[in-house]
Structure 1
């Protein structure tokens, strides 16, 4: 049985991920943006899931979320599922929050970051970036390129941790829209597998996955110079450095 935190788990893919992990007998902690939103996962909490709360778009609340998570003890895996397509908030929620959680939570054995096939159209440039989200400087695609690059940086710098990025497909969730063409029932399978399996294919860090198949990411993802530039920019904004080794 593994202890696993799933961010953004009150609906959509995150909720499905948490539910499947509970079905498999794992010790799951769900995350909601506000205390009121925890009511959406009351059934999971009644089945034994723990709960943490914090708005990932607000840096002070992300820091508080770190404290809540660390107070629960070390996790075996963290699935950074939470995301938004709100243009002004894509950087705080999709990139800054997983960076701070990664850097400040007690280091787990496995880290899984939700990416997207759209990351391939992201721009590998940080000039003029506004991590605060006060103005819309970057797109959803950019944010997914950045978080996938964060995954690769973690895999390079932390050899004792398995880090992966997952494209869950374009599925009919609240964020994806009802007309999304991919199968929602498959959207959480890869994350669950990566967080729990001993399959040798999943024990090689730094990979980008789609439906349990490893695929090549945007070339910038594996560029160590771009990884370091991204980490330096995030550290300068947050005041939190990602420790090496």
Structure 2
């Protein structure tokens, strides 16, 4: 089993990824802004459907399939404020971090819509710090552990990172930047696999905020389930070592 760090673990996609990795018996390092929400998530992951279950293991050879019942992995939580990327290294230094990381999933994010004419510097700075700069800084800090395990970095981006639309300038710019970060990292760190996931509209708290800002009703049934996006993330993480899923787009049907 491996060790995976997830940012934004209490959010919709981050939580779904944590649940699916937990079901496979991996050790988890869960980060989020609220210690209370992290504690609630940790408790939920220790019970019910997230207890040990059977998983399929192919060890890089699809013809050599076996099943196993994993032991529950350890769960560590770290409260991090991604609006302050300069403080992340000190915050992590206060915790016991593993020397090896099999994966880092960057799923934290924030959005604040508005036209360019009304988006002041604070709107731009907040979204760039959380969505881009903190992801870059955490990746830099964690690279030695990722290199040691020949691990994988997954950036949960957005279809806004592929096309910018009206009122989405600051958010889309942060996601375009995240795409560039992933592409550069992939070229630089040949021993570390890098994946960008581009979810379309997904049924999360963030989407509820977006719909409110758009003045539109929110119905979860209109959007992709976070668990479906998480399955895309897991598919990339579980790809045999002879290949990498570099980019994947998951849209609501």
| Same fold (TM > 0.5) | yes
Task: Sort the Cα spacing of 1:179 and 1:190 in 2 relative to 1 into closer, same or farther, 3 A.
Answer: same
Q: What runs of 5+ residues in structure 2 fail to find an aligned partner?
A: 48-73, 113-122, 209-217
> Are 2:145 and 1:90 aligned?
no
* Number of positions where the alignment pairs a residue of Structure 1 with one of Structure 2: 196
Contact 1:79–1:112 (CA under 8 A) maintained in structure 2? yes
Which of 211, 224, 227 is matched with 1:183 structurally? 224
Bigger Cα Rg: 2
What is the CA–CA distance in structure 1 between the aligned matches of 2:238 and 2:92, rounded to whole Å? Answer: 22
Task: Sort the Cα spacing of 1:46 and 1:64 in 2 relative to 1 into closer, same or farther, 3 A.
Answer: farther
Task: Sort the Cα spacing of 1:153 and 1:78 in 2 relative to 1 into closer, same or farther, 3 A.
Answer: same
Contact 1:189–1:211 (CA under 8 A) maintained in structure 2? no
Task: Sort the Cα spacing of 1:117 and 1:70 in 2 relative to 1 into closer, same or farther, 3 A.
Answer: farther
> Are 2:68 and 1:37 aligned?
no
Task: Sort the Cα spacing of 1:112 and 1:119 in 2 relative to 1 into closer, same or farther, 3 A.
Answer: same
Quote the RMSD (CA, aligned, Å).
2.5
Shift of 1:52: 1.3
Q: How does 1:31-180 map to 2 (within 5 A)?
A: 31-44=31-44, 46=46, 48-67=74-93, 71-86=97-112, 87-88=123-124, 89-105=126-142, 106-108=144-146, 109-122=151-164, 139-177=170-208, 178-179=218-219
Q: What runs of 5+ residues in structure 1 fail to find an aligned partner?
A: 124-137, 213-245
What is the CA–CA distance in structure 2 between the aligned matches of 1:179 and 1:172, rounded to whole Å? Answer: 8
Shift of 1:50: 1.4
**TM-score, normalised by the number of residues in structure 1:** 0.72
**TM-score, normalised by the number of residues in structure 2:** 0.69
